C-alpha cells in the first residue's frame, strides 16, 4: 500500500484536464505535425499533446477518435452571414459549426455605417466565431445588388466610398474587423465610371488601417496586370498580404485567357510576392476549366473559402468541406487543403497566435473529420461537371473546448 507521502506525490504528478482527444491523426503543416497523437484541453485551450500527456492523467471527458483526422478548427475566409439584414446573409451556426467550421469571416456585408448591427445581431449571439472584412462602401452590401447581369450596386456613387470613416471603424473594432473589402465590377461601379477611384480609395484605406484588402475582381475595367507606372491593376497592384478572392472564376477579368488557354502571368507573379490567392467559390465564381489549368501550373489556392450566401448554400458551393472536396478532386494534396482552411487564413488575418494551429496555449477550436469515398457529380458556375470520388466529412467540432457532434 502507498503511504500518505506517496499518495500525495502521485496526486501532484497527475494532471486533470477537461477533455482528452485520443488516437486522432493530427494534421498541422504549420507545426509540422502529421501523426496519430493525443491532445489535452483545459479551460478552452490546448494545453498538452503527445508524450506530454501521461497515462496517469485524467479528464472529465475522453474522446477516442481512432480512424479520424484532427485539425485546427476550419476557417471560411469569405462568407456572407449578415442574416436578415442583407439578402445574401446565411446563419453562421447552421452553415458554420454544423459543417465543421469554427470561424466564419464575413466578406464585406457591412460597411462603417452598418457594422454595429453585424456585431450586435450576428457576432455576439453566434456560437461560431464570426469576424469581418469591412466594405469600403459605407453601407456595405446591406442594400446593394450583386454583381453579374443585374446592374446597380454599392459603389455606383463615390459619395458612398467614405474611406476615412472606413478606417476609423476598423480601428475602433479590432476584435472583429480583420480587413477591408472592395468589389471591382463594372455593373456595381456605374458601368466602370467609379471603379478606378473606388479601388484607389480601398487600397489607401487598407494601408492606412494596416489591414489586408480583399478584392473581388470580375467583369472589371481594371486590368489584371500593367507595367505602366501609376496604372492600377488587379491583382498587379495588390500588396503582400492582400487577398485576391474568386481566383478561379471564368468571367471577363479571369486569370485564364480562354481563347489561348493560358494563365495571365500576373496571377503567379502576385502569389509569388505574397498576395493571398483565395477561392471564394460563390454562386458564379468557380470554373472547372480555370481551376484545372491553374492546377496544371501549380497555382493552388493559398486559402479555400466558399463565399457562402443565400444564393449558393443550396447550390454549387454548399459548404466549406464540399468546396475543399473539389480541390481534392483536382489533385491538391490533403495536407495543403487543410492548411488552406486553418493556419494560412489565420495568419493572413493576423489571428494565428489565437487559433488556426495545433499548439499549446491556443484556443481549442478543432475539427475532427474523415475523407470518405463518395461519388458525386459536382458543378461549377456554368454547370460544367466533374466527379468527386472522395469528400471531406466533418464528424465532430470542438469549439473552445466544447464538444459538438454533427448530424450530417
Would you give per-residue pLDDT tens digits along the chain (408 residues)? 444 444 433 433 457 999 999 999 999 999 899 999 999 999 999 999 998 998 878 999 999 999 999 999 999 999 999 999 999 999 999 999 999 999 999 999 999 999 999 999 999 999 999 999 999 999 998 665 566 667 788 999 999 999 999 999 999 999 999 999 999 999 999 999 999 999 999 999 999 999 999 999 999 999 999 878 889 999 999 999 999 999 999 999 999 998 889 999 999 999 999 999 999 999 999 999 999 999 999 999 999 999 999 999 999 999 999 999 999 999 999 999 999 999 999 999 999 999 999 999 999 999 999 999 999 999 999 999 999 999 999 999 999 999 999 976
Distance CA 76, CA 258 (A): 29
Distance CA 183, CA 195 (A): 9
Kindly state whether residue 231 falls inside one of the protein's structural domains. yes
Which residue(s) pair with 378 in the sheet? 386
Q: What SS3 class is residue 394? A: strand
Q: What SS3 class is residue 387? A: strand
Domain of residue 269, residue span: 73-348
Kindly state whether residue 149 falls inside one of the protein's structural domains. yes
Instruction: Pull the grid cell for residue 361.
Output: 496555449
Q: How does pLDDT run across 320-353, given as a tens digit for each residue?
A: 999 999 999 999 999 999 999 999 999 999 999 9
Q: What is the CATH number of the domain that holds 288?
A: 3.20.20.140
Kindly state whether residue 44 falls inside one of the protein's structural domains. no
Kindly state whether residue 401 falls inside one of the protein's structural domains. no
Kindly state whether residue 338 falls inside one of the protein's structural domains. yes
Kindly state whether residue 193 falls inside one of the protein's structural domains. yes
* Number of compact structural domains in the chain: 1
Kindly state whether residue 35 falls inside one of the protein's structural domains. no
Q: How does pLDDT run across 117-160, given as a tens digit for each residue?
A: 999 999 999 999 999 999 999 999 866 556 666 778 899 999 99
Contact 86, 109 (CB under 8 A): yes
- The total of other beta-carbon atoms located within 10 Å of residue 331's CB is 10
Contact 350, 75 (CB under 8 A): no
Amino acid at each position: 500500500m502507498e503511504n500518505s507521502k506517496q499518495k500525495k506525490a502521485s496526486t501532484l504528478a497527475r494532471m486533470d484536464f477537461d477533455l482528452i482527444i485520443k488516437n486522432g491523426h493530427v494534421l498541422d503543416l504549420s507545426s509540422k505535425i502529421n501523426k496519430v497523437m493525443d491532445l489535452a484541453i483545459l479551460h478552452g485551450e490546448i494545453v498538452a499533446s503527445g508524450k506530454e500527456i501521461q497515462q496517469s492523467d485524467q479528464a472529465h471527458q475522453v474522446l477516442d477518435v481512432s480512424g479520424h483526422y484532427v485539425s485546427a478548427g476550419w476557417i471560411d475566409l469569405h462568407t456572407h452571414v449578415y442574416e436578415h439584414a442583407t439578402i445574401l446573409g446565411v446563419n453562421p451556426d447552421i452553415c458554420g459549426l454544423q459543417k465543421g467550421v469554427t470561424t466564419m469571416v464575413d466578406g464585406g456585408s457591412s460597411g462603417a455605417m452598418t457594422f454595429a448591427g453585424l456585431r450586435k445581431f450576428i457576432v455576439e449571439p453566434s456560437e461560431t466565431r464570426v469576424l469581418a472584412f469591412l466594405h469600403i462602401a459605407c453601407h456595405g452590401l446591406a442594400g446593394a445588388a450583386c454583381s453579374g447581369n443585374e446592374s446597380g450596386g454599392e459603389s455606383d456613387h463615390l459619395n458612398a466610398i467614405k474611406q476615412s470613416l472606413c478606417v476609423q471603424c476598423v480601428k475602433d473594432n479590432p476584435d472583429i474587423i480583420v480587413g477591408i473589402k472592395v468589389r471591382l465590377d463594372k455593373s456595381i461601379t456605374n458601368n466602370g465610371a467609379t471603379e478606378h477611384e473606388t479601388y484607389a480609395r480601398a487600397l489607401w484605406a487598407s494601408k492606412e488601417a494596416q489591414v489586408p484588402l480583399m478584392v473581388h475582381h470580375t467583369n472589371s475595367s481594371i486590368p489584371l496586370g500593367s507595367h505602366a507606372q501609376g496604372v492600377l491593376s488587379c491583382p498587379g497592384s495588390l500588396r503582400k498580404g492582400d487577398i485576391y478572392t474568386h481566383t478561379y472564376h471564368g468571367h471577363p477579368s479571369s486569370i485564364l485567357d480562354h481563347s489561348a488557354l493560358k494563365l495571365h502571368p500576373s496571377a503567379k507573379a502576385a502569389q509569388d510576392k505574397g498576395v493571398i490567392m483565395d477561392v471564394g467559390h460563390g454562386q458564379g465564381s468557380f470554373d472547372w476549366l480555370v481551376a484545372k489549368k491553374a492546377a496544371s501550373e501549380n497555382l493552388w489556392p493559398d486559402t479555400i473559402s466558399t463565399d457562402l450566401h443565400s444564393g449558393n448554400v443550396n447550390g454549387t458551393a454548399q459548404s466549406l468541406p464540399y468546396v475543399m472536396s473539389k480541390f481534392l478532386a483536382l489533385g491538391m494534396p490533403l495536407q495543403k487543403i487543410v492548411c488552406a482552411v486553418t493556419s494560412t487564413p489565420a495568419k493572413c488575418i493576423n489571428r494565428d497566435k489565437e487559433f488556426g494551429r495545433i499548439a499549446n496555449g491556443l484556443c481549442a477550436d478543432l475539427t475532427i473529420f474523415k475523407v470518405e469515398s463518395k461519388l458525386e457529380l459536382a458543378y461549377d458556375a456554368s454547370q460544367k461537371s466533374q466527379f468527386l470520388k472522395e469528400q471531406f466529412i466533418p464528424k465532430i467540432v470542438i469549439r473552445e473546448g466544447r464538444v459538438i457532434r454533427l448530424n450530417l
